[in-house]
A and B are shown apart, each in its own frame.
Chain A
Amino acid sequence: GAVVSQHPSRVICKSGTSVKIECRSLDFQATTMFWYRQFPKQSLMLMATSNEGSKATYEQGVEKDKFLINHASLTLSTLTVTSAHPEDSSFYICSALGDLNEQFFGPGTRLTVL
């Protein structure tokens, strides 16, 4: 089946620094990828839709200057959390859109901002 990886799986950073999270589709090409955020014991919230070769589309309330998304190739999308603060600590999950419009999810990245 289709596999999506994320790197890193866990990251701890100091407040004010930037963190980049990678999402890769390992065995298929994905024109569209999605980024979600999951708070502890809560649901996944869609942050943005990433389309290869074009600007990402952000959901209402998500700061595009804070959460920079780049989808430079058909197998890689990156999410950069700029000037991270403790309130940005969360579980970030990506998904890649495969055949028949099914989303395949990565294992997630746990971000902790000190």
Chain B
Amino acid sequence: AQSVTQPDIHITVSEGASLELRCNYSYGATPYLFWYVQSPGQGLQLLLKYFSGDTLVQGIKGFEAEFKRSQSSFNLRKPSVHWSDAAEYFCAVAPNLYSGGGADGLTFGKGTHLIIQP
């Protein structure tokens, strides 16, 4: 069974500082990888995704993530955070859809709560 680990439950970063949120996955093959952000009262918003190709993917709001197969990791980064980035961040995986056919629900990590200090 696939699983996702986000080792940091809370992270506090000063506004303007850089950010890295960690994500490790366990899966037999290379899955599809996603990062979502959840703000209070709002639905999950997709920040970026990796399906194949370039292992450094760019997303919205200035976020990027790097897929490292050897480390089974997909860490999210942002060079300079803004106060509006305070939210809950979820890493998620899905089986590679083109290998198995059909669509599957996502397996989510437990989330990392990002706090921005002024």
CA distance A106 to B45 in the complex (A): 10
Q: For chains A and B in complex, what number of residue pairs have CB atoms within 8 angstroms?
A: 46
Q: Is B43 a contact of A105 with CB atoms below 8 Å?
A: yes
B67-75, B77-85, B99-107: which one contacts chain A? Answer: B99-107
Asked if A25 is at the interface of the complex by the 8 Å CB criterion, the answer is: no
Asked if B41 is at the interface of the complex by the 8 Å CB criterion, the answer is: yes
Q: Is B42 a contact of A46 with CB atoms below 8 Å?
A: no
CA distance A41 to B112 in the complex (A): 10
Q: Is B44 a contact of A93 with CB atoms below 8 Å?
A: yes
Q: How far is the CB of A111 from chain B (nearest CB, A)?
A: 16
Q: How far is the CB of B114 from chain A (nearest CB, A)?
A: 14
Q: Is A46 a contact of B105 with CB atoms below 8 Å?
A: yes
Chain B residue numbers with a CB within 8 Å of A54 are none
Q: Which residue of A lies closest to B36 (CB)?
A: A105
Asked if A4 is at the interface of the complex by the 8 Å CB criterion, the answer is: yes
Chain A residue numbers with a CB within 8 Å of B22 are none
Q: Is A107 a contact of B43 with CB atoms below 8 Å?
A: yes
Residues of chain A in range 12-32 having any CB-CB distance to chain B below 8 Å: 32
Encode contact with B along A97-114: 1 for CB under 8 Å, 0 otherwise.
Answer: 100011101111000000
Q: Is B103 a contact of A101 with CB atoms below 8 Å?
A: yes
Asked if B111 is at the interface of the complex by the 8 Å CB criterion, the answer is: yes
Asked if B11 is at the interface of the complex by the 8 Å CB criterion, the answer is: no
Q: How far is the CB of A1 from chain B (nearest CB, A)?
A: 10
Name 10 A/B residue pairs within 8 A (Cβ), A-sorted: A41-B111, A42-B110, A43-B110, A44-B108, A46-B107, A49-B104, A49-B105, A95-B105, A102-B49, A107-B43
A residues bordering B, Cβ < 8 Å? 4, 32, 34, 36, 41-46, 49, 59, 93, 95, 97, 101-103, 105-108
B residues bordering A, Cβ < 8 Å? 32, 36, 41-46, 49, 90, 97, 103-111
